[in-house]
């Protein structure tokens, strides 16, 4: 009983310390944010690969050999593993995000500070959601298992590759192993979606393209958004200011603008 009490006290102390560190990190990031903007630029030509993946998926609606290959892959995977059924991909896709914040927590610093990193992650997720989910209804493609008409593109795969690219952007310069780990988890997610007969091959390919493109686009757009949010007026004061908040145990951000 005493051991349980001691463990509870220790966990409470660790939790309070972690929350304190998060708030301190946010405050530090806000005051030093302009220094990080120059590190956020990406290259426009990096968008060619994801655009090609999306193009391949789009062509599956009009190019018959590509569509026949979809059916071939589904037939082969079903023949090799007729009873395959797992939800593991729903967990694999979050692996890169957990790794990014976990690495930072143990002292392995990524490219950007907490606020910038989190804003980039949110922006990437927003781009991915806006680009993929409306298409599911618009394209009206039947899934291989016949469950519904929301097959194209693969949302799981899009999220997995968006998160993998997020990890590659933050830690790829430190070692290529981080990018390999992230993209391996993303690829496994796409493969499992195909084996589960939830998506055609072209759905997964297009999803990967949308995911990568969303994160790369976020890293292209964010510097301009960040500069706008930290803009100073003629007197040298910030006309737009972000302030960290902490209410009911939940950290957050408040936006203040001067017109």
Q: How far apart are the first and last CA of the chain?
A: 59
Q: What is the pLDDT of residues 113-123, one digit of tens each?
A: 898 999 999 99
Q: Where are the alpha helices (DSSP H) in the chain?
A: 2-32, 48-59, 64-80, 89-92, 95-105, 114-139, 155-171, 176-195, 201-229
Strand (E) positions, 60-201?
none
CA pair distance 170, 149, nearest whole angstrom: 36
Instruction: Give the pLDDT confidence score for residue 24 in this predicted structure.
Output: 57
Residue 11 pLDDT grade (very low, low, confident, very high; cuts 50, 70, 90): very low
Instruction: Give the pLDDT confidence score for residue 45 in this predicted structure.
Output: 78
Residue 232 has pLDDT above 60, yes or no: no
Residues 168 and 178: beta-carbon distance below 8 Å: yes
- Burial group, residue 1, by CB count within 10 angstroms (0-12, 13-18, 19+): exposed
Higher-pLDDT residue of 7 and 105 is 105
**Placement of tokens 């390999």 in the chain:** 180
What residues does each domain of the chain span? 42-222
pTM of the predicted structure, to 2 decimals: 0.79
Q: What is the pLDDT of residues 87-110, one digit of tens each?
A: 999 999 999 999 999 999 999 989
CA-to-CA dists, residue 202 to 71, 73, 214, angstroms: 10, 10, 18
Longest dimension (CA), the chain: 70
C-beta atoms surrounding 163 within 10 Å = 29
Q: What is the pLDDT of residues 30-59, one digit of tens each?
A: 445 444 555 555 677 788 999 999 999 999
Handedness of CA 141, 63, 199, 94 (dihedral sign): negative
CATH code of the region 42-222: 1.20.144
Q: What is the pLDDT of residues 167-220, one digit of tens each?
A: 999 999 999 999 999 999 999 999 999 999 999 999 999 999 999 999 999 998
């Amino acid at each position: 009983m005493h051991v349980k009490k001691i463990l509870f006290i220790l966990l409470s102390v660790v939790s309070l310390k972690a929350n304190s560190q998060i708030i301190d990190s946010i405050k530090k990031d806000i005051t030093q944010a302009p220094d990080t903007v120059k590190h956020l630029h990406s290259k426009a030509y990096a968008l060619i690969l994801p655009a090609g993946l999306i193009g391949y998926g789009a062509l599956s609606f009009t190019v018959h050999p590509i569509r026949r290959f979809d059916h071939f892959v589904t037939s082969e995977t079903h023949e090799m593993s007729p009873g395959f059924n797992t939800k593991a991909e729903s967990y694999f896709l979050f692996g890169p995000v957990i790794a990014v914040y976990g690495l930072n927590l143990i002292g392995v610093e990524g490219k950007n500070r907490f606020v910038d990193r989190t804003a980039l992650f949110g922006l990437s997720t927003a781009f991915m959601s806006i680009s993929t989910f409306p298409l599911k209804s618009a394209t009206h493609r039947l899934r291989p298992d016949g469950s519904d008409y929301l097959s194209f593109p693969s949302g799981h795969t899009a999220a997995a590759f968006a998160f993998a690219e997020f990890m590659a952007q933050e830690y790829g310069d430190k070692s290529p192993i981080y990018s390999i780990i992230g993209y391996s988890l993303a690829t496994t997610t796409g493969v499992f979606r195909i084996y589960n007969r939830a998506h055609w091959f072209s759905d997964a390919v297009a999803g990967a393209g949308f995911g990568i493109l969303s994160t790369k686009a976020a890293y292209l757009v964010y510097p301009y958004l960040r500069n706008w949010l930290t803009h100073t007026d003629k007197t040298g004061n910030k006309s737009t200011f972000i302030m960290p908040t902490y209410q009911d145990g939940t950290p957050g951000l408040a936006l203040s603008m001067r017109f």
